[in-house]
Amino acid sequence: MACSAGGVIRLDMPSSPRYVSLARLVVSAVARGLDFSEESIDDLKIVVSEICTNAIIHCEPRREEQRIQLICCPRPGALTVEVRDSGQGFDPSCVGTFEEGLAAGKGFGIPLVRSLVDEFELESDHGKGTVVRVTKYDRLPESPPGPR
Amino acid sequence: MTDPNSQQTVLEIGYSRLGDYVVIELEGEVDVYTAGKLRDAIREKVEEGEYRLAVDLSKVAFLDSTGLGVLVGGLKRLNPHDGKLAIICDNERILRIFRITGLEKIFTIFPGAQALTETRAGD
């Protein structure tokens, strides 16, 4: 990931629900430093919360022994966030849709992430952990039309 | 809402009654750390025989899919009792998540407790 002069921000945290809010805090602070809009910051908080929650689930059953890495790569107008876990991994083709999540009462996470970011990559395999990488571009308000 | 000392998510839950609805009032953030409290609150009320619930999200600063899953689970828990689970929320940040996921079509969402009362009068 090619980052701006500020460089990469990394958070290495235990695979525990209590630290998901810390991940949100870090990502929102980085996005705010890039002057992202409040809506984009809200989107990123949800995105990171979803990905970290999934990472924690993937780290079961030996969750407390596992760690999750959050890597933020800021660039002007864009923020790439990568979340890595060393959990059990899963088959990415099993990721469902909103409709399937509705039927199951869960599984809204990845479809929600996809809808809130501009770029989405997921690498996972059984026994090899999971890497999710997303990029969000900030949407600046359109300029009003100039004089004709 | 995050505890400034621990950086842990905080969710406060209160209850009130509005006609035949029990209103579950939330304040704080609903995520994987706190969603269990909401799940327990809904389960307790259903076990007490309360089948008309309204979850007030007006003071919720953050809600992710874990929280949405708990609400959908509450709806399923109430279905066998012909119950209702309404949402009270005028917070655009939260409503946006309901729209994106399509859950606005599943839940009846009221902008405030007053609107819930008015609708009941028209039931």
**pLDDT tens, chain A, 148 aa long:** 566 656 899 999 999 999 999 999 999 999 999 999 999 999 999 999 999 999 998 877 777 778 999 999 999 999 999 999 988 877 777 777 767 766 666 678 889 999 999 999 999 888 888 999 999 999 654 556 655 4
Query: Per CATH, which fold does B11-111 belong to?
Result: Transcription Regulator spoIIAA (3.30.750)
Closest-approach residue (CA) in chain A for B76: A105
Give a yes or no: residue A99 inside a domain: yes
> Where are chain B's structural domains?
11-111
Expressed as residue numbers, the domain containing A61 is 9-137
Question: Smallest CA–CA separation between B121 and chain A, in Å?
Answer: 30
The total number of structural domains in chain A stands at: 1
| B1 Cβ neighbours under 8 A, 6+ residues apart | B9, B10, B11, B12, B27, B28, B29, B61
| Amino acid at site B38 | L
Best A13, A16, A20 member to test B by mutation, with max B CBs in 10 Å, is A20
In the predicted structure, residue B122 carries a pLDDT above the cut 50: no
With beta carbons less than 8 A apart as the criterion, state whether A51 and A79 touch.
Answer: no
- How many pairs of residues across A and B have Cβ atoms under 8 Å apart? 74
Q: Is residue A63 part of a domain?
A: yes
CATH code assigned at A56:
3.30.565.10
Tokens of B24: 């579950």
Predicted confidence (pLDDT) per residue in B40-69, tens digit: 999 999 999 999 999 999 999 999 999 999
